[in-house]
Amino acid sequence: MSTPIRYSFGADEHLFAEVSDSMSLDAFFKGLAVTRAVERLALDGVLDICLANASFQIRFDPDRIAPHTLLEAVKTAEAGAVAERTLQTRIIEIPVLYNDPWTHETLMRFRDRHQDPSATDLEYAARINGLADVDAFIAAHSGAPWFVSMVGFVAGLPFMFQMVERERQLQVPKYLRPRTDTPKLTLGHGGCFGCIYSVRGAGGYQMFGVTPAPIYDPQQNLAYLKDHMVFFRPGDIVQFKPMDREAYDHAVAEVDAGCFDLRIRPVEFSLDAFLADPVGYPKSLQEVLA
């Protein structure tokens, strides 16, 4: 932890910490170590600790803990925190109907806001990533797992990046101007980050498909949402699995009936093992779901 974290206050109730200028697994694990150290302090007045890609934010009650008292406590935690290189987490298989009719209808309504009005989002993404066609892009997108590095923007929305070498990262810019509509449970992509839109709403990420799996449900109707209405948490590993329309419709019917479930397995993630073998190690994680 040689590079110190940059701290700043947001209004009266937030302490913001910039772990690194660039987003990486190293930055994520450093932020994870510090936030866990702060959690262990159990400071009176700390209300929320939110970890992000290369930063974290702490919401606090200034009537219970003075801002600079909190800052000094967090700096002390940073100095003593040891970056953990392994993480006990879970790998989750998320089924996806790529190139679905709903995101296609939506993207066609907003071509005037896109870099290439003559192509679909998938066609554009395939071309600028040097892939032969849409099928090749889908194979690349679903070919290696994704690491959830933060959850937010809207309730339950996971941001994730693919666990491949940097030169193989799929990169697609956001729309030139945001859309006013995005179907619920759309797979989006902006820069090198993927996401799943947990609810219908505005958005600027390229749209590749939809999943039938709810990831945010205040009613908590499904078994995997019983513990929390927000499903994803930082450190989760996601494996996308392409599905056809028949399988998608069947899954939606199961969701409506309250009997849909996801394949979720516990797994230990090793940062060093991934950095040493960024091709083979993700495949070993995929085997956990086999």
pLDDT value at position 2? 60
Residue 172's Cβ-count burial label (10 Å; 0-12, 13-18, 19+) is buried
Cβ-contact 198, 156 below 8 angstroms? yes
DSSP state of 75: H
Cβ-contact 15, 58 below 8 angstroms? yes
What residues have CB less than 8 Å from 173, skipping those under 6 apart?
115, 190, 191
Domains defined for the chain, CATH in brackets: 6-84 (3.30.1360.40), 88-289 (2.40.100.10)
**Segments in the chain below pLDDT 70:** 1-2
Residue entry with tokens 């091709």: 279
pLDDT value at position 3? 78
271, containing H or E segment:
helix 271-276
Residue entry with tokens 């495949």: 283
Question: What whole-number distance in Å separates Cα of residue 19 and Cα of residue 102?
Answer: 38
Instruction: Tell me the residue type at 72.
Output: E
